[in-house]
Amino acid sequence: MSILADKHTKVIVQGITGRDGSFHTGKMIAYGTQVVGGVTPGKGGQEVHGAPVFNTVAEAVKETGAKTSVIYVPAKFARDAMLEAAESPLELVVCITEGLPTLDALVAFEALQKQGIRLIGPNCPGLITPGACKLGIMPGEIHMPGRIGVISRSGTLTYEIVSVLTKAGMGQSTCIGIGGDPVIGSRFLDLLPLFEADPGTDAIVIVGEIGGQDEVVAAKYCQEKMQKKVVAFMAGLTAPPGRRMGHAGALVGGEDETAAAKIEKLEAAGIPVAQVISEVPALLSK
């Protein structure tokens, strides 16, 4: 089983004719993802990797029956791309684009939320159901089908965690990179209930970092609501206060937003925290 995407998911790609859109569309198709079309205004009628290109999201959805869109457009166009997606009967939008102004992301998120459309990202690697569907830029070859869910604020740390799990023989049900910007569409709290309800997931790994309160909120939720095992890894123990570390949201704004403070809250909630990534499989096995 999986959450959000499987082998039956029909996908359109916004920005499919661009450099990144075309490249990653090819990778997604090669992985087995059902990319049924793409969108680039003014380029309708073309094909990219065998997928038809449409001028609008509405046209693409109507012609293909897609319920999911992946966005690979430059930052200055990303808000409009998400707003256009919000006007169509989609269920999931994955925005890979980084560098969005916070206000743009907020406006787009509110528009999608109003229509009941789930957003992953922006500034994220996307999500993957190993062996079935890849929505974004995650390297498919490091993943293995299995029963461990992964939710991560960091893109590259997602890959590191997954690689360690796969080498330990622990396959994954679904892996999601949620992004590290101040405004993102789905947070730990939004996705943990989906993994809890998924019969194909036995345990979940959450990968956090400095800044914000997401990990603290997740810890409280896990303590009160989760029956499945949750383990964590927290990046940024040596990060200096007041300095942004990689992501716009990875900025310590107070003592309770440091990695050390979050680790304390997670452990107090009964969630074991790996000191180094290589410890994650052992914590899951205990």
Over residues 153-174, the mean pLDDT reads 95
Mean pLDDT to the nearest integer, 189-204: 98
- The reply to whether 24 belongs to the active site is no
Averaged pLDDT for residues 225-247: 75
Q: 10-120 — its CATH code?
A: 3.40.50.720
Catalytic residue among 8, 24, 49, 247: 247
Q: Where in the chain is the domain with CATH 3.40.50.720?
A: 10-120
pLDDT band per the 50, 70, 90 thresholds, residue 248 = very low
Look at the pTM and tell me if it is higher than 0.85.
yes
pLDDT of residue 249: 45
| pLDDT greater than 50 at residue 206 | yes
- State yes or no: pLDDT of 155 exceeds 50: yes
Strand-by-strand arrangement of the 92-95 sheet: 47-48, 51-54, 34-39, 10-14, 68-71, 92-95, 118-120
**Nearest alpha carbon to residue 50 among 64, 65, 70:** 64
**Span 200-208, average pLDDT:** 97
What number is the average pLDDT over the span 163-184? 96
pLDDT of residue 220: 96
Could you tell me where in the chain the CATH 3.40.50.261 domains are found?
Answer: 139-285
pLDDT in tens, 70-118: 999 999 999 999 999 999 999 999 999 999 999 999 999 999 999 999 9
| Predicted confidence (pLDDT) at residue 283 exceeds the cutoff of 50 | yes
State phi, psi for 208 to the nearest 5 degrees: -110, 180
- Please, are residues 152 and 95 in contact by the beta-carbon 8 Å criterion? no
Q: Indicate the class that CATH gives domain 139-285.
A: alpha beta
